[in-house]
Structure 1
Amino acid sequence: MRTAVLVGALALAAVTVTTPATAEAAKDPTPAPVSTSDLSTLNGLSYETVSYGRERRQDMDVWWTADGTPRPGVFLIHGGWWSSGDKRQMTTIAREYADEGYAVFNLNYRLSGQAAWPAQRTDVLSAIQTARKHAARWGFDVKNFVVVGFSAGGHLAASVGTYGDGMNGLKGVVGLSPIVSPLRAYTDGAVTTDPYKRKLRASAIQLAGGCEPKGRCSRIWASMEVAWHASRHDAPMLTAHSADEFVPPVQSQLLKQMLGQVGVPVTVITTPGTAHSSAMYRQPGVSEQVHQWIAERLGGQL
C-alpha cells in the first residue's frame, strides 16, 4: 500500500499545470509543477499538500473522500490583512467541510509583502485551475463548487466571484467580514482613531504596491474594488459581518446593490457585537447559516 501511495505521489509530482487562461494569469506563461507531500488518511479522508505554482506560498491542502465519487468543492481562503496569515488557520474549518463530504481546498497565496495586487487574485484562480486539472484524483466535481474567504480572504473570494463575467462551475461565494471595498477602508481609516481601521487602510495601500488611490495608481485601486466588476453571470454571494466591527456591514451593502442591479442575489448577515472574521463565524448561528447556504447552492447535504 505504501508503495502504491508513493508511486501515485511521484506521478502527480511529474505533472505540470498551466495557470488560468486569463490575461491576468497569462502574465507568467511558465507551467508550474505540482508537488506532493504529507500524504495521509484520517477517518476515511485523504489529505495532501500540493503546489499550484512555483513561488513561495503557492500551495494548498486538499481533503477528499477517496471513494471514486465526484463531490462538490469548497475552496477556503484565510485572512490576515493581505500581509500575514496562513492556511493552517483554516484547518479546523477545512476538516468540518471535508467531514460533510465536500472536496476541500485550503489555500495559501502570495502575501502583499511578497507581491502586489493582483497576484493574490491570480493565485486563487491558479489554485482553482489546478483543482480542475487533477479533479479525478481528488474526487472533485468541477461543475459544482463555492469559494469561502475570511476578512482579506473574503476580499479575494469576492474578487474571484466578480472577475470576468462568471466562472464555470462556481455556484456561490461566501465572505466572512469581507473587505469588499479597499477604497472605503482607505477613506474610513483616514478619519478614525480606531487602530484596526487605520491598520486596514495601511494594509490596503501595501496591497496596491505602496501607492494611494490617485494618479497612476487609480487603475490598481479600481481593480481591487469588488462591486465595480459586477456582471450578470456572477455567482450568488453570502456575506456576514458583526454590526460594530472594523469591517462594517456597509462594505457588503454596496456589493448587494451593484450585483442586484444585474440580477445576482447577495445575502448579508449581520450579527451583534464586534467579533471579526473567524471569531464572528463562530458566533451562535452564523456558521450554521453559512453551511446551510452552501449546501443549498451545491445541491443539498451529501
Structure 2
Amino acid sequence: MRNIFTVLLFMLLMRVAYSQEPTFANVAYVNDNLEAHLLDVYIPEGAQESNRTVMFIHGGGWSSGSKELTPGYCKELLDAGITIVGVNYRHSQDTLFPAQIHDVKTAVRFLKTHAEDYHIDTCNLGVMGVSAGGHLAALLGTSFNNDELEGAHLGSNDASSVVQAVVDFFGPTYFLEMDGFFPESCNEPLVHDIHNSSESKLLGCTISECPERVDFANPLAYINGDEPPFAIYHGDADCAVPMHQSEILRDQLVKFGIKVEYTEHPGGGHDNFLDPELKRGVAEYFKKALNNDCNDYETPTYPNPIFTGVEDEASLHYSVFPNPASSFFTVKGDFLDEVEVVDLMGKVVVRQAVKTGAQINIAGWSEGLYMIFLYHKNEKRYSFRLMKK
C-alpha cells in the first residue's frame, strides 16, 4: 500500500514552493556529516541582535520530507520579523524512534548555544510542526524533563531544549486512538494499526503489539503542568490523522492548566492550512507568546521540584513516566529511596521503598488523577501529578 503521507507531502511541496533563500544554509547541528542533521536559518531584514525565533519541523510520516518545506509554511512569520529555522531530522527507515525527537531537541540546544551567531533570543524560542512534525513539536513541548528523549549524546548540553511556545498542525499524539475516530465523510481513511503504517515503522513494531513504545512516543504521557502555551490546528475532515488526536492533546493540556488556543478548520483535510491569512494569524500568535522579558539562556528546570538539605541541588533530576499511564509508571531520580501515591481524596494508595528505574504497577487502580511524591531519607523531594487512564 502506498504511504499516503508521501502522497500528501508531494502535494505540499507543489503548493509551498517559494524562492526565499536562507541566511545561513545547511548548518550542521551535529558534527557527523549527516544531511539529516542540517538546519537552515532565515533572519528577517532589520532583525535585532536578539530576535524571537521559531523552529519549523516538517511533516512526511517521519519517513520523508526536509527543511526545504520551511519557507512555504513560514514566509508570513518571516515577514512579521520572526527568525525562522528549518530543521532536518533522521527518518524512520534509517533510525527508529526516539532518534527523531533526539534530533529536534539537539537542534534547539544548538541554536541556544550559538544564539549570538544567529541573532536568537533564547528565552523567546518557539517550535512549529505539521503532521509528523506536529507530533515532534508537541512532544518537544511536553517532555523537556525526560533524559531518554533528550538525545544528550548528540550535541552540546550547555543549554536546555525548553521552548516558550508550541504550534501543532494536525499532528498525531496517541497512536492507539487513531483508527475508529475518523469522520463519516472519510470513505477510505488511513489505517494506522498495521505493520507498515507510518507509526508502526517509526516504532519498529505494529502499534497494538507494543503499547509501551506507543506510550514512550505519546506527547500526552509527559504533561505535568509546566508546559509552554500551545496553539493547535486541525481540520474536521482529516482522513489521515483524525481530529480526535488534537482534541485529546488540547484536553490534557487544559486539564493541567496550560494555555491552549485551539482552531478547528471546518471541512479541512490533512493539508489545508496554507492560507496566507491563517499563517499571518500564526505569526501574530508567536509574537504574542514569544514576548518574555529575558536575554540570557534559561537554566534547565524540572517540574515541581521540592529541595531540602541537599548541597548540590542542580544535580537533582526526577521524572515519572509515562503520563497518562494505564498499567504502570516508572520513577527515576538521583536521590530516591521511597515513593508515595495519594488520590484526590487525600488517601495514601501506596508508599514503598524504590530505586531509580522502579516500575509501579497501577493496573488495578481507578481512573483519574493521583499525586506522586518521591522521597530521599524520609524527606519529600519531588511532586508530580499522574493521570491513570
Q: Runs of 5+ in structure 1 lacking a partner?
A: 1-41
In structure 2, what is the equivalent of residue 282 of structure 1?
274
Residue identity in the other structure for 2:115: A
Total equivalences in the alignment? 253
Residue identity in the other structure for 1:212: I
Cα shift readout 1:179-204 (whole Å, capped 9, x = no counterpart): 12222225659xx9855522686110
Identify, as 1 or 2, the structure richer in helix: 1
> What is the correspondence of 1:3-152 to structure 2 with a 5 Å cutoff?
46-53=23-30, 54=32, 55-65=34-44, 69-152=49-132
In structure 1, what is the equivalent of residue 287 of structure 2?
295
Per mean C-alpha deviation after superposition, the further-off stretch among 237-246 and 93-102 is: 93-102
Contact 1:57 1:109 in 2 (8 A): yes
Find the residue that maps to 2:208 and give its secondary structure.
coil
> What is the correspondence of 1:145-294 to structure 2 with a 5 Å cutoff?
145-165=125-145, 170-185=163-178, 195-198=188-191, 202-214=197-209, 217-246=210-239, 247-276=241-270, 279-283=271-275, 285-294=277-286
Shift of 1:251: 1.1
Query: Relative to 1, partners in 2 of residues 1:286 and 1:97: Cα closer, same or farther, differing over 3 Å?
Result: closer
Provide the rounded CA distance (Å) in 2 between the counterparts of 1:193 and 1:103: 38
Provide the rounded CA distance (Å) in 2 between the counterparts of 1:73 and 1:168: 14
What's the % identity of the aligned pairs? 26
Shift of 1:124: 0.4
Find the residue that maps to 2:101 and give its secondary structure.
helix
Contact 1:240 1:268 in 2 (8 A): yes
Contact 1:143 1:169 in 2 (8 A): no
Contact 2:238 2:269 in 1 (8 A): yes
Shift of 1:299: 2.4
Larger radius of gyration: 2
The CA RMSD over aligned residues, in Å, is 2.8
Q: Runs of 5+ in structure 2 lacking a partner?
A: 1-19, 147-159, 293-389
Provide the rounded CA distance (Å) in 1 between the counterparts of 2:91 and 2:175: 16
TM-score of the aligned structures, taking structure 1 as reference length: 0.75
TM-score of the aligned structures, taking structure 2 as reference length: 0.59
Contact 1:183 1:225 in 2 (8 A): no
